[in-house]
Structure 1
């Protein structure tokens, strides 16, 4: 078995935000930087386009999920995110 076969699957970060949200822009910058350093994937979802996300998170955006579980909201700590992606 080669080294690539033994690695854990890549983690995925999801940013839930909305257009025109300054904190979302700041969170995105942090996520892009940390994901590029760790090799994790990321995606962004617009809370206005998903009624369930809106119901769950509208008071907390931006919300950051790691592999579908809530990791952070409002502000993203780069060190904490890096630890979650590499741990």
Structure 2
């Protein structure tokens, strides 16, 4: 199975993370893209992600590029996914 284009990096018990993931879930459903949620503190998480993004969690990546940290604007995510204007 391919990794979805959208990755949301989170920490356990993080309300800000929950809010960001909710926005990503909503926009992903609207444009037909799935996402994965990765806890940066989990033992099996890539340590490079923890080192790079650990102090800015939550972070949303699209195709490996950071689109938002701490919060994400829905229109920014749509543009990142569609490469154009927000419908």
- TM-score bin, normalised by smaller chain: 0.7 to 0.9
1:74 aligns with 2:74: no
- Cα distance in 2, alignment partners of residues 45 and 65 from structure 1: 11
Q: CA RMSD in A?
A: 1.2
TM-score of the aligned structures, taking structure 1 as reference length: 0.82
Q: Which has the higher helix share?
A: 1
TM-score of the aligned structures, taking structure 2 as reference length: 0.82
1:38 aligns with 2:31: yes
| Structure 2, unpaired ranges of 5+ | none
| Structure 1, unpaired ranges of 5+ | 1-10
Q: How many residues align?
A: 77
